[in-house]
Amino acid sequence: MRALQAEGVKTIFGYPGGSIMPTYDALFDYTRGEKKCFDHILVRHEQGAVHAAEGYARVSGEVGVALVTSGPGATNTLTGVADAMLDSTPIVVIAGQVAIGALGTDAFQEVDLVGVAQPISKWSYQIRHADDVAWAVSRAFYIARTGRPGPVVLDFPRNAQVEEIDWEPKKVDFVRSYVPYPKLDNEAVRQAAELINNAKRPLALVGQGVELGNAQEELKTFLEKADIPAGRTMLGLSALPSDHPLNMGMLGMHGNYAVNLKEQECDVLIAIGMRFSDRVTGNLKTYAKQAKIIHLDIDRSEIDKCVKTDVAVIADCKESLPVLTALLNTTKHSEWRESFKDLDQKEREKVIEPAIHPTEGPLRMGEVVNAVAEKAPRGTVLVTDVGQNQLFATRYFKYPEKRSICTSGGLGTMGYGMPAAIGATFATDRTVCCFMGDGGFQMCIEELGTIMEQQAPVKMILMNNHYLGNVRQWQDMFWMRRKSFTKMMNPNYELIAQGYGIPYQAVTDRKDLKQAIEKMLATKGPYILECAIMEEDNVLPMTPPGMNVNDMMLEI
């Protein structure tokens, strides 16, 4: 407890069980009365604890903490750990373990957590004795939050929880084998500046690294000085405000049309804190071959992993961006920027308008997201689940403030949304809107219990189309319309909301939508707004998997 306190932990998401009972017993005193320094949020499933810790971390910028028991408690966290690894989210998972004397004997609720967590965590470690606690916990937080952040797993055998020692605080701020902030190579910066200064059609790709490095302002100054249009990755959506004139939209398979096509036209591509995910690049063989590639990243192993770079600047972008900006000529690329407009207009006519302002037929996801985005207070945090709901929500929501997006990008974890939104409400007083489909809503539906108990003010927008919509869209497009197990029988969500005592409203008619959203936003505490969505709504535009980004389709 004292080790967690020393790391500034305020909120713990957890679920007790046999081998973590000694820790939970100690926690009891630290969550009430004189000693109180933590809030413990009892979740309903350990996966929920980790996603909540992720949501908390993403919005607050602090390390999220999950506390669980051994065996199934520990294995239930693994989806969240892998999710946090792929999305560079700083969390620490502390799991109970059988006493070290029983390790390897297949004792009750024993699982080799360190072994299974190693490939999906930034660091995992077994705390075998009490005198190891202070060091290991401090090291865990140091590793989770520094450099490229990520999940750390601590396996905490029962004997180490009950051994009595004299408390000796330890603060780890150095690990000799780990270089979280590589030294900036000024020669690389100079080469990058030269490329940018000579560029006629520069394009920046902005990723979550900018948010993680807290370099949103440095990014703006950089882009503005050399007048560089920028696309954002899904995780980097709030790294550059959506109303910024140089923001050209979202990258990727379902991102914006112009910026995707322009990746194939630019002469210098500047990737900042992003990792060239296959969802962004499409076919690597044809991706941005005409361009010189500059890659700014804190993680050396990302350089040349997917796209060969001409200049790599390996450093924290908070440090590298200002140095690079200083070497840039103040310039204008008006013609290049203007050239995005025709394509934007095309997308607006063919895709955006029909999606957000349809006039007939059942409700569509785009219009629901757009209507919420228009009514929600400035700075609202968007949380999404995974699938069509995520793609529509990320496309049509607005991000004027930093740290405004929680979504499962790399792992694409259905069920992420609801618990991550719970975590987000403990990190901020801003409004938290969580868009989910009927599939993902049911994948961590048990967390409605946590929302009820905590009265966590999650505004849940359930976009129900009775389908696993994204898979259904792919089946229609690439699998001869054979809808193999994507149609879903749903429960009566109103009764479920009643069961949990959560205010609920359903919208089936377009004319009721705005009023329903206003009511949801005006209601204190949690809320479920169920929208009856057109069954076969498709997310567009789309670059079919493995195709070239310039083959992006505006219609099917």
Partner 1 sequence: MMCEERSKMKEETKKLYTLLVYSENIAGILNQITAVFTRRQVNIESLNVSASSIEGVHKYTITAWSDADQIEKITRQIEKKIDVVKANYFTDEQLFIRESGLYKLSTEKVLQNPDISRTIRRHEASIMEVNPTYTVVMKNGKTEDILNLYYALNEFDCVFQYTRSGRIAVTRAKQEQVSEFLEEREQKH
- Cβ proximity to partner 1: between 173 and 187 the closer is 173
From residue 478, alpha-carbon distances to 31, 472, 483, 543 in Å are: 53, 10, 11, 12
**Burial tier of 223 (Cβ tally within 10 Å: 0-12, 13-18, 19+):** buried
DSSP, collapsed to helix, strand or coil, labels residue 239 as coil
Q: How many CB atoms lie within 10 A of CB 196?
A: 25
Contacts (Cβ under 8 Å, ≥6 apart) of 156: 20, 23, 94, 95, 96, 97, 126, 127
> Can you tell me the distance from the alpha carbon of 442 to that of 437, in angstroms, rounded to the nearest whole number?
9
Least distance in Å: CB of 308 to partner 1?
Answer: 9
Sign, Cα dihedral of 225, 228, 233, 234: positive
Sign, Cα dihedral of 261, 264, 270, 275: positive
Least distance in Å: CB of 179 to partner 1?
Answer: 8
Q: Is the bond preceding 541 in cis, omega lying within 30 degrees of 0?
A: yes
> Can you tell me the distance from the alpha carbon of 271 to that of 260, in angstroms, rounded to the nearest whole number?
14
Q: Are 12 and 46 in contact (CB under 8 A)?
A: no
User: Max Cα separation, the chain?
Assistant: 71
The residue ranges that bind partner 1 (CB under 8 A) are 114-115, 118-119, 122-123, 143, 174-179, 299-301, 303-305
Least distance in Å: CB of 97 to partner 1?
Answer: 14
Contacts (Cβ under 8 Å, ≥6 apart) of 178: 143, 147
**Token digits of residue 184:** 């900036």
> Can you tell me the distance from the alpha carbon of 295 to that of 316, in angstroms, rounded to the nearest whole number?
12
- Cβ proximity to partner 1: between 165 and 179 the closer is 179
- Cβ proximity to partner 1: between 22 and 180 the closer is 180
- Cβ proximity to partner 1: between 177 and 330 the closer is 177
Report DSSP letters for 161-187, one per residue.
HH-------------TT--SSPPP-HH
- Cβ proximity to partner 1: between 271 and 427 the closer is 271
- Cβ proximity to partner 1: between 192 and 298 the closer is 298
Q: Are 272 and 208 in contact (CB under 8 A)?
A: no
Long-range contacts of 467-475 (CB under 8 A, 24+ apart): 467/438, 467/535, 467/536, 468/387, 468/437, 468/439, 469/387, 469/388, 469/389, 469/437, 469/439, 469/537, 470/387, 470/388, 470/391, 470/539, 471/387, 472/536, 473/388, 473/538, 473/539
Provide φ and ψ at 259, rounded to 5°: -65, -30
**Token digits of residue 80:** 């969240």
Least distance in Å: CB of 148 to partner 1?
Answer: 9
- Cβ proximity to partner 1: between 123 and 426 the closer is 123
- Cβ proximity to partner 1: between 181 and 474 the closer is 181
Least distance in Å: CB of 213 to partner 1?
Answer: 18
From the CA atom positions of the chain, what is the Rg in Å?
A: 24
Least distance in Å: CB of 324 to partner 1?
Answer: 23
Least distance in Å: CB of 157 to partner 1?
Answer: 14
Least distance in Å: CB of 122 to partner 1?
Answer: 7
Least distance in Å: CB of 124 to partner 1?
Answer: 8
- Cβ proximity to partner 1: between 181 and 500 the closer is 181
- Cβ proximity to partner 1: between 143 and 268 the closer is 143
Least distance in Å: CB of 303 to partner 1?
Answer: 8
- Cβ proximity to partner 1: between 301 and 345 the closer is 301
Least distance in Å: CB of 136 to partner 1?
Answer: 11
Single out the residue of 15, 18, 16, 14 nearest to residue 108, CA to CA: 18
Least distance in Å: CB of 176 to partner 1?
Answer: 5
**Token digits of residue 435:** 């868009």
- Cβ proximity to partner 1: between 125 and 441 the closer is 125
- Cβ proximity to partner 1: between 56 and 123 the closer is 123
- Cβ proximity to partner 1: between 66 and 120 the closer is 120
Least distance in Å: CB of 208 to partner 1?
Answer: 18
Q: How many CB atoms lie within 10 A of CB 10?
A: 15
Q: Are 423 and 13 in contact (CB under 8 A)?
A: yes
Least distance in Å: CB of 186 to partner 1?
Answer: 18
Provide φ and ψ at 434, rounded to 5°: -120, 115
Taking the C-alpha atoms of 429, 424, 299 and 251 in order, what is their torsion angle to the nearest 10 degrees?
-90
Provide φ and ψ at 236, rounded to 5°: -100, 15
